[in-house]
Structure 1
């Protein structure tokens, strides 16, 4: 069972009858890019999931740019693809893994532990000699049974209360520049949640776009949060709850289990002018 990462070779050797592969390619500035890339060629048997349509819910102007999808709806979508209790799910993209990590977190949110991200994405798959296909995979629909989530999200009210309670540490996955409020071009307000630490999600990767070894990630997280920190007292956020999942996965790889996600993240936080901002 793979629960964090899977290598291209391991994916090639995985039994197909109990495997579902999810293509999560996406670009923020071109929402149609991922599906077009999927049509041109994808890992054989992969199904496409769109960040906006499948991996996010409806926006209302106050719940962030990529709010969580309705859990029941997502469960139906996964069941339609053939994801059942014993299914090994593998997610990939062609970027730095943030969209695949979002799918990884969402499945864990629904209680599905057998889900992993393809380390290095489709580039690593091709480098290992993996083929691409334009064939639409055959669906094996089943009923996806929602279970107690392995991940528990937080709401803005929890984060706001924590400014006084200080029950957890918020870790912001955005770049240091955006964290400081410098050159913000995505959200209408620059800055960060007061008291938050900053761990740019790209720092989880090697130059070849693979996740760093577990020992290195562990040392880097301890350098940021202190030796002996409690992972359950760490809450991750980013701009819209996507790249924060990259940091969550990084901590799981490092052996730090139990940290949580604030899905609304900065785009939700800054939508209410009464919430404080630090720069």
Structure 2
């Protein structure tokens, strides 16, 4: 099942044609994304069932966000229990189109942890069925030892092994403050969360962050928008260029979709995994409500 490094996105027809050479991983979101019964019965046959909280997040601490990164070794151990190694061709998908960011979070964690061929199924399970892909019983769920019991990687621990594409950039608070001032920091939450509540001083956004609701990257059919459309979307937010670009949300899930889209465009986007769930609790950190202040015209963001 070994495959060469490729695009982080795969369309359903290609995934179906290469199904014998891939390991399919179904990723459940950390919270319910849509009401009502599941519209599709069954899963990609033999898929490994995982979830964001138990498999692609570590145990929260007093200073972390609610979905911190797990230990990279624990990520390897969990998949190794299914016979999956870092060189296997992994295809991640979600059951509903509005859950695509959960697959993006899994992609971020797996590539950060050193897995070399990881792709997100564009459009998820609905696109798979539209392409003629069968549904049936998934494989067994993850092993009994959940990743949520693992501690968060400490700053002094060894960095995870880098994949062939150079890895992912994980941002800390100092990075976020610098990027907000001199680069472009994207806030992928809905506008209501970005604006904040007038009577709550710890709601709002990181000063100078640009509103960039991740759901806008999805077309009505659940597929990611075309590269041309996404590039225009990023350019409008001054998020294409040689300057640094970062992203955050509530817990590092919807913003992972911005990292994935950036990778498709050749633009590195760093991820502040702890996101607003950690930022808001630290009263020493600044908060801005309403529209973001305009950065100085002297700051060259090189968006050409």
TM-score range, shorter chain: 0.7 to 0.9
Q: CA deviation at 1:137?
A: 5.9
**Distance in 2 between the 1:172 and 1:138 partners?**
33
Equivalent pair of 2:56/2:106 in contact (CA under 8 Å): yes
**How many residues were matched structurally?**
260
Instruction: State the match for 2:74 in structure 1.
Output: 73
**Distance in 2 between the 1:218 and 1:29 partners?**
30
Q: CA deviation at 1:55?
A: 0.7
**Distance in 2 between the 1:5 and 1:20 partners?**
15
Query: Alpha carbons of 1:192 and 1:124: their partners in 2 closer, same or farther (altered >3 Å)?
Result: same
Q: CA deviation at 1:22?
A: 0.8
Equivalent pair of 1:153/1:262 in contact (CA under 8 Å): yes
Provide the aligned C-alpha RMSD in A.
Answer: 2.8
Equivalent pair of 1:61/1:271 in contact (CA under 8 Å): no
Instruction: State the match for 2:298 in structure 1.
Output: none
Q: CA deviation at 1:25?
A: 2.1
Instruction: State the match for 2:162 in structure 1.
Output: 148
**Distance in 1 between the 2:60 and 2:257 partners?**
22
Matches within 5 A, 1:34-113: 41-93=42-94, 94-96=96-98, 97-113=100-116
SS in 1 for 2:246: strand
Q: CA deviation at 1:135?
A: 4.8
Query: Alpha carbons of 1:138 and 1:14: their partners in 2 closer, same or farther (altered >3 Å)?
Result: farther
Query: Alpha carbons of 1:135 and 1:236: their partners in 2 closer, same or farther (altered >3 Å)?
Result: closer
Equivalent pair of 1:174/1:198 in contact (CA under 8 Å): yes
Query: Alpha carbons of 1:244 and 1:190: their partners in 2 closer, same or farther (altered >3 Å)?
Result: same
Deviates more, 1:243-252 or 1:127-136: 127-136
SS in 1 for 2:186: strand
Q: CA deviation at 1:79?
A: 2.1
Counterpart of 1:241 (choices 240, 247, 252) is 252
**Distance in 1 between the 2:224 and 2:32 partners?**
25
Is structure 2 residue 269 aligned with structure 1 residue 269? no
Structure 2, gaps ≥5 residues long:
143-159, 290-304
Instruction: State the match for 2:126 in structure 1.
Output: 123
Instruction: State the match for 2:262 in structure 1.
Output: 251
Q: CA deviation at 1:167?
A: 4.2
Cα deviation, 1:96-152, whole Å, max 9, x if unaligned, reads 20110001111111232311111111111122222211252699xxxxxx6225102
**Distance in 1 between the 2:7 and 2:283 partners?**
39
Is structure 2 residue 24 aligned with structure 1 residue 21? yes
Deviates more, 1:20-29 or 1:112-121: 20-29
Matches within 5 A, 1:76-225: 76-93=77-94, 94-96=96-98, 97-136=100-139, 147-148=161-162, 150-160=167-177, 166-182=181-197, 189-225=202-238
